[in-house]
C-alpha cells in the first residue's frame, strides 16, 4: 500500500525552511496531504482576534497558491481537530501526521491530545521546530531555572548557531482530487462589515510578502536601524512581526539573511545596526521562553505583588483610549494607527500601554485584549511580555516608577510632529512646539491652527502630572508585598 503523510499546517504558513514539510519530502512517502484545520474554539483566549483573522485568510490563500504552483494544494477542513484528522486519515489512507510545534498553553495541551490520539491509532507522528531559533526548554540559567531577565538569556543563545535555512521544494506530489476541501471563504475569517480595507492596502500576507519585506528592510532600513527604529514617522523597522507570527518566514531565515548582509558589508557601523536588530529577534525568543515556563502570564502578573494593585474601573476612559480620543496626541495617534492599519510602532505601544496602566490605572489585561483583537501581529508571547513589561509586573519589566510622559515621548521621538499630524489631522496646523501638548498652547495659537479644545479635539481626559503621582502612591501600597 502507498504510504501517505498528512502535513498539518498551523502557524508555519511557508514552503521554504519548513522542517515538517522537509521531513515529509525526505521520508518514504508517495503522497503528502497539506491540510489546515480551522478550530478556533479549541484555543480559548488564544484564538485569533479580528485583525489577525483577516491576515490569516489572505495568508492561507497565498499558501494554497504556492502549493498549487508546485502541483499540490491546501485541503481546508473545519475542526474539531481530532475528528477532522480522523476523517482525513480514512479518506486518504495516510499513515503519518507531521507538524511544526507551537508554544502557547492551550495549543500545547490540544497538540498533546492530538498526538496521543494518533499514536493510539497506530499512526506515526513527528513534530519539528520552526517558529523559534531555540526551544524554550533548552535554555536555562546556571541554577537550572528559566530566565526572567533578557540580557543573560540573549547572551546564552546569541552565539548558538541557528543553522542554515532549508530550501523550498521545487515540486510536490499531487493531492488526490477526490479529497474535498472547505472553501476558504466558508471559514468566516473576513468581517461581514468590511472594515479591513486599509489593512489589505497596507500588508501583503503570505510567504512572498514576507520575503519582499525582509529584502526591502535589509537593503533600505537595516543600514540605519539602530536610529530609525525609534522614529515612528519613518518606516524605520522591518514590519516582519505578523509574517513571523504566522510563520510565513522563520526566524532562522531572517537571522541568516542579516548575517549574509553583514558578511557582504562587514563594516563596524553595520554590525551595530545588525546586532540591535538581532536582539529584537532575541526578545521574541525571550517572550516565548517566558510564556512557556510561566503559562499563566497571559492573564496573571509574573510579579505576584501586582495581584493586589488597586486598578481603576473606568469604562469611559478605556473607551476613549481605544478610540484614540484621550486628548493626548501621541496616545491618540498610536491608537488610531492601530485601528486603521492593524499595527502600531513599538515606541507607541510602550507609550499607550504606560498611559493606560499608569495614568489611567486601568489593568493591563484590558489593553492586552484590545491589542489582541486589533493587531495583525497579535502574538500571545510577545503581547503578554509587552503588556507586563509596560505595567511593570513582568519579566525584565520597566520599573513601575518609570512612567512615560507621552508629551515628552513626542518631543523626543516625533520632534517635528510628523507622526501626530499623520494620525491626528485635526492638530496638523499646530506648530511643532505645541503639537504634543495642545492643552498648554496659548489660545491665539490654537485659534490660528483651527483647534478648539473640547470641540475639534478632546481636552486631556486625565492630568498627566497628578495621575502620575496617584499611580506612584498606589504602587507604594503594594511595593513591599
Residue 385 makes contact with ligand FAD by CB under 6 A: yes
Q: How far is the CB of 381 from ligand FAD (least distance, A)?
A: 7
* 229 belongs to the binding site for ligand FAD (CB under 6 A): yes
Shortest distance, position 155 Cβ to ligand FAD, whole Å: 17
Stretch that binds ligand FAD, among 146-154, 159-167, 342-350, 420-428 (CB under 6 A): 342-350
3-state SS, residue 470: helix
Catalytic, out of 99, 261, 283, 370? 283
Contact status: 349 vs ligand FAD (CB under 6 A): yes
Active site residue 280: yes
- Residue 144 a catalytic site member: no
Q: Hey, what's the cell of 147?
A: 530566565
d(CA 170, CA 180): 24
Interface residue with ligand FAD among 181, 228, 346, 432 (CB under 6 A) is 346
Q: Residue 291, interface with ligand FAD (CB under 6 A)?
A: no
Q: Is 44 left (phi over 0), alpha (psi -120 to 50) or beta?
A: left
Distances (CA, A) of 3 to 24, 33, 34, 81: 11, 11, 15, 22
Alpha-carbon distances of 234 from 67, 116, 221, 340, 386, rounded to whole Å? 36, 49, 10, 17, 22
Among the listed residues 275, 311, 432, 439, the single catalytic one is 311
350 lies in the binding site for ligand FAD (CB under 6 A): yes
377 binds ligand FAD (CB under 6 A): yes
Residue 389 is among the residues annotated as catalytic for this protein: no
What sign for the dihedral angle of Cα 97, 103, 107, 111?
positive
d(C-alpha 140, C-alpha 133), whole Å? 15
Restricted to residues 16-35, the positions that interact with ligand FAD (CB under 6 A) are none
d(CA 201, CA 203) in angstroms, rounded, equals: 6
Stretch that binds ligand FAD, among 42-50, 117-125, 163-171, 374-382 (CB under 6 A): 374-382
311 catalytic, yes or no? yes
Which of 346, 429, 432, 470 is the catalytic position? 346
Residue 283 contacts ligand FAD per CB under 6 A = yes
238 part of the interface to ligand FAD, by CB under 6 A: yes
Question: Does 103 contact ligand FAD by CB under 6 A?
Answer: no
Q: Residue 179 — φ and ψ, nearest 5°?
A: -80, 105
Q: Give the nearest distance from C-beta 78 to ligand FAD in angstroms.
A: 27
Question: Could you say whether residue 375 binds ligand FAD (CB under 6 A)?
Answer: yes
* Number of residues assigned to the chain: 481
**Strands 75-78 and 31-38, sheet pairing:** parallel
* Residue pointed to by grid coordinates 502507498: 2
Residue 237 interacts with ligand FAD (CB under 6 A): yes or no: yes
Do residues 437 and 461 lie in contact, with contact meaning Cβ atoms separated by under 8 Å?
A: no
- Count of residues engaged in binding ligand FAD, rule: CB under 6 A: 28
Cβ–Cβ under 8 Å, residues 203 and 100: no
Q: Is 392 in the site for ligand FAD (CB under 6 A)?
A: no
Alpha-helix runs per DSSP H in 378-459: 380-391, 406-413, 418-423, 432-435, 443-448
Three cell numbers, residue 86: 480522523
Count CB-CB contacts under 10 A for residue 30.
Answer: 10
Residue from 45, 86, 208, 280 touching ligand FAD (CB under 6 A): that is 280
Q: Does 374 bind ligand FAD (CB under 6 A)?
A: no
Binding residue for ligand FAD (CB under 6 A) from 24, 82, 132, 244? Answer: 244
Q: Which of 295, 334, 386, 392 binds ligand FAD (CB under 6 A)?
A: 386
CB of 121 vs ligand FAD, minimal distance in Å: 36
Place of cell 485584549: 369
Catalytic residue among 99, 321, 364, 370: 364
314: which DSSP letter?
A: -
Note whether 287 binds ligand FAD by CB under 6 A: yes
By the rule CB under 6 A, 85 interacts with ligand FAD: no
Q: What three-state secondary structure class fits 70?
A: coil
How far apart, in whole angstroms, are the C-alpha atoms of residue 433 and residue 411?
8
239 belongs to the binding site for ligand FAD (CB under 6 A): yes
Contacting residue, 76, 162, 281, 424, with ligand FAD by CB under 6 A = 281
H or E element: which one contains 35? Answer: strand 31-38
Residues that bind ligand FAD (CB under 6 A): 229, 237-241, 244-245, 280-281, 283-284, 287, 346, 349-350, 353, 371, 375, 377-379, 382-383, 385-387, 390
Q: Which residues are catalytic?
A: 280, 283, 311, 346, 364, 387
Amino acid at each position: 500500500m502507498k504510504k501517505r503523510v498528512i502535513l498539518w499546517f498551523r502557524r508555519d504558513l511557508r514552503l521554504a525552511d519548513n522542517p515538517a514539510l522537509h521531513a515529509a519530502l525526505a521520508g518514504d512517502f508517495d503522497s503528502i496531504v497539506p491540510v489546515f484545520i480551522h478550530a478556533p474554539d479549541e484555543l480559548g483566549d488564544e484564538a485569533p482576534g479580528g485583525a489577525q483573522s483577516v491576515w490569516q485568510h489572505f495568508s492561507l490563500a497565498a499558501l494554497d497558491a504556492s502549493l498549487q504552483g508546485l502541483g499540490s494544494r491546501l485541503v481546508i477542513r473545519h475542526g474539531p481537530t481530532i475528528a477532522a484528522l480522523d476523517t482525513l486519515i480514512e479518506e486518504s489512507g495516510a499513515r503519518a501526521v507531521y507538524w511544526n510545534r507551537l508554544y502557547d498553553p492551550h495549543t500545547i495541551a490540544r497538540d498533546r491530545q492530538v498526538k496521543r490520539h494518533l499514536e493510539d491509532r497506530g499512526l506515526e507522528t513527528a513534530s519539528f521546530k520552526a517558529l523559534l531559533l531555540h526551544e524554550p526548554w533548552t535554555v536555562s540559567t546556571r541554577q537550572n531555572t528559566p530566565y526572567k531577565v533578557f540580557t543573560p538569556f540573549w547572551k546564552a543563545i546569541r552565539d548558538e548557531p541557528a543553522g542554515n535555512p532549508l530550501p523550498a521544494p521545487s515540486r510536490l506530489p499531487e493531492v488526490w482530487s477526490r479529497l474535498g476541501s472547505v472553501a476558504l471563504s466558508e471559514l468566516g475569517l473576513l468581517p461581514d462589515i468590511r472594515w479591513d480595507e486599509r489593512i489589505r492596502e497596507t500588508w501583503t500576507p503570505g510567504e512572498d510578502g514576507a520575503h519582499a519585506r525582509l529584502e526591502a528592510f535589509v537593503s533600505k532600513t537595516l543600514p540605519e536601524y539602530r536610529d530609525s527604529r525609534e522614529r515612528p514617522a519613518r518606516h524605520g523597522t522591518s514590519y516582519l512581526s505578523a509574517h513571523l507570527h504566522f510563520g510565513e518566514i522563520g526566524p532562522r531565515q531572517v537571522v541568516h539573511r542579516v548575517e549574509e548582509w553583514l558578511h557582504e558589508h562587514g563594516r563596524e557601523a553595520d554590525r551595530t545596526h545588525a546586532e540591535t536588530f538581532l536582539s529584537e529577534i532575541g526578545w521574541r525568543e525571550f517572550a516565548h521562553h517566558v510564556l512557556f515556563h510561566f503559562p499563566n502570564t497571559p492573564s496573571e502578573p509574573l510579579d505576584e505583588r501586582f495581584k493586589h494593585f488597586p486598578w481603576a474601573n473606568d469604562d469611559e476612559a478605556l473607551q476613549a483610549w481605544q478610540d484614540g480620543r484621550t486628548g493626548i496626541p501621541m496616545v491618540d495617534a498610536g491608537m488610531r494607527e492601530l485601528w486603521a492599519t492593524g499595527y502600531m510602532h513599538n515606541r507607541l505601544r510602550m507609550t499607550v500601554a504606560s498611559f493606560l496602566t499608569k495614568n489611567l490605572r486601568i489593568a493591563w489585561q484590558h489593553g492586552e485584549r484590545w491589542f489582541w483583537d486589533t493587531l495583525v501581529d497579535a502574538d500571545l508571547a510577545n503581547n503578554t511580555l509587552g503588556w507586563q513589561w509596560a505595567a511593570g509586573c513582568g519579566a525584565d519589566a520597566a520599573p513601575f516608577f518609570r512612567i512615560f510622559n507621552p508629551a515628552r515621548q513626542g518631543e523626543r521621538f516625533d520632534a517635528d510632529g510628523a507622526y501626530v499630524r499623520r494620525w491626528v489631522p485635526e492638530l496638523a496646523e499646530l506648530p511643532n512646539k505645541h503639537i504634543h501638548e495642545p492643552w498648554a498652547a496659548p489660545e491665539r495659537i490654537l485659534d490660528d491652527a483651527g483647534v478648539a479644545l473640547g470641540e475639534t479635539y478632546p481636552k486631556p481626559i486625565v492630568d498627566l502630572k497628578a495621575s502620575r503621582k496617584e499611580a506612584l502612591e498606589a504602587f507604594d501600597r503594594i511595593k513591599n508585598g
